[in-house]
């Protein structure tokens, strides 16, 4: 499905980002993998190598605009182009009421989860415009369309990612670029496990899903692979939840 395509995945060290990288590689893409944790990114690269794929691992901070541009430049130097970009890097931030939320934490979450997507898209769009084609998939969240208590920065950032996705889709659609957002629900990842710390909270979370379970990273990755491919050639500016029915109630 993605043979001869070049993909860039941020946040590829674990969880959803790693699953996306593995599925894109399975479908034939060559990849640039990035994250601040280079040891874990190298583990992802080794997993891709074990399944016969090709990738490079790079330590990069999405909250730094120059680093995002350098990442795209490196991808073009290594592989010749960027066909697919998946902006997956993100953090949860602390839990606190809006009026009590730390300004430092607010700035950190917005910097990574929203500005990081913006910086990445600027560099990715510039490279894709030169070739007249490309697919960008931004990882938002179900909390990009609804609120939840004690996560003001995360919720605000993910709402912003969806709006940014829709705006850019309109700006670059006639230039051959497709830009979409995916909204994972509660997925079994290290981030989710760090947020749900009691059995009762876990049970309540399961009950909030029509399927009665949490999602798996690979279930998000399969949708990303479709959006990245030519099979989704008429899809842009869209927001696709992968949430087990969380938003349906």
Of all residues in the chain, what percent carry a pLDDT higher than 90? Answer: 93
Q: What is the pLDDT of residues 134-167, one digit of tens each?
A: 999 999 999 999 999 999 999 999 999 999 999 9
H helices present in 173-214, as ranges: 190-195, 199-207
Please state, in angstroms and rounded to a whole number, the distance separating the CA atoms of residues 129 and 67: 20
Assess contact for 142 and 185: CB atoms under 8 A: yes
CATH domain 6-240 topology: Rossmann fold (3.40.50)
- Taking only the tens place, the pLDDT of each residue in 95-124 is 999 999 999 999 999 999 999 999 999 999
Q: What is the pLDDT of residue 81?
A: 98
172 in catalytic set: no
**Chain centroid to CA 133:** 20
Is the pLDDT at 191 greater than 70? The verdict is no
Residue in 1, 177, 168, 2 with CA at minimum distance from that of residue 79: 2
Two structure tokens written together for 246? 């969380």
Q: What is the pLDDT of residue 200?
A: 83
Q: Which of 119, 154, 186, 240 is catalytic?
A: 154
Q: Please tell me the predicted confidence (pLDDT) of residue 164.
A: 98
Q: Quick one: DSSP state of residue 114?
A: I
Residue ranges of the domains in the chain?
Answer: 6-240
Each residue's pLDDT tens digit, 223-243? 999 999 999 999 999 999 999
pTM of the model: 0.96
Whether pLDDT at 77 is above 80: yes
């Amino acid at each position: 499905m993605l043979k001869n395509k070049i993909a860039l995945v941020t946040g590829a060290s674990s969880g959803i980002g790693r699953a996306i990288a593995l599925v894109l590689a399975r479908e034939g893409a060559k990849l640039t993998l990035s994250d601040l944790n280079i040891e874990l990114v190298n583990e992802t690269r080794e997993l891709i190598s074990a399944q016969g794929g090709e990738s490079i691992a790079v330590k990069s901070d999405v909250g730094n605009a120059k680093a995002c541009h350098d990442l795209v430049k490196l991808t073009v130097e290594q592989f010749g182009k960027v066909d697919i970009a998946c902006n997956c890097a993100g953090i949860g931030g602390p839990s606190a009421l809006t009026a009590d939320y730390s300004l430092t934490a607010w700035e950190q979450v917005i910097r990574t989860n929203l500005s990081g997507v913006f910086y990445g898209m600027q560099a990715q769009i510039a490279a894709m415009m030169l070739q007249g084609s490309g697919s960008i998939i931004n990882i938002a969240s179900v909390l990009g369309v609804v609120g939840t208590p004690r996560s003001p920065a995360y919720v605000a950032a993910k709402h912003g990612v969806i709006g940014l996705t829709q705006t850019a889709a309109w700006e670059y659609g006639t230039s051959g670029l497709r830009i979409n957002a995916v909204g994972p629900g509660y997925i079994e990842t290290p981030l989710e496990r760090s947020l749900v710390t009691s059995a009762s909270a876990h049970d309540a979370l399961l009950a909030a899903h029509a399927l009665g379970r949490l999602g798996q990273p690979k279930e998000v990755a399969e949708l990303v692979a479709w959006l990245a491919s030519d099979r989704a050639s008429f899809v842009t500016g869209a927001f696709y939840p992968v949430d087990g029915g969380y938003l349906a109630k």
